[in-house]
């Protein structure tokens, strides 16, 4: 089991700030595919991965990163400077 966190418009589309997920996925990309297969709201939230950033256990990474043994995966839009 791991925590999956959603921020900003990702949270708005999915309707949850976080959830506990049981997964066999070995990479972030595989986890995304599992989530997308759940319901349309996940499909919509993850329809354009180039518009998303991901962190595994609070470390920025990419969608091919391993999630084996991870406790937390977070999805959020790119941060903008100002």
pLDDT tens, residue by residue, 4-41:
999 999 999 999 999 999 999 999 999 999 999 999 99
Query: Which pLDDT score, from 0 to 100, does residue 79 have?
Result: 74
pLDDT at 78 over 90: no
Query: Which pLDDT score, from 0 to 100, does residue 80 have?
Result: 63
What six digits make up the tokens of 75? 């999805």
Closest alpha carbon to 31 in 9, 2, 60: 2
Query: Which pLDDT score, from 0 to 100, does residue 62 have?
Result: 96
Query: Which pLDDT score, from 0 to 100, does residue 38 have?
Result: 95
The 3-state DSSP class for residue 26 equals coil
What six digits make up the tokens of 27? 């990479």
**Cα–Cα distances in Å, from 19 out to 34, 50, 82?**
14, 23, 31
Query: Which pLDDT score, from 0 to 100, does residue 16 have?
Result: 97
């Amino acid at each position: 089991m791991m925590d999956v966190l959603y921020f900003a418009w990702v949270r708005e589309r999915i309707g949850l700030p976080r959830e506990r997920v049981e997964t066999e996925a070995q990479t972030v990309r595989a986890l995304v595919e599992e989530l997308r297969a759940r319901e349309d709201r996940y499909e919509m939230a993850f329809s354009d991965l180039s518009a998303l950033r991901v962190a595994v256990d609070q470390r920025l990474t990419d969608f091919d990163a391993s999630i084996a043994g991870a406790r937390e995966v977070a999805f959020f839009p790119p941060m903008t400077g100002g």
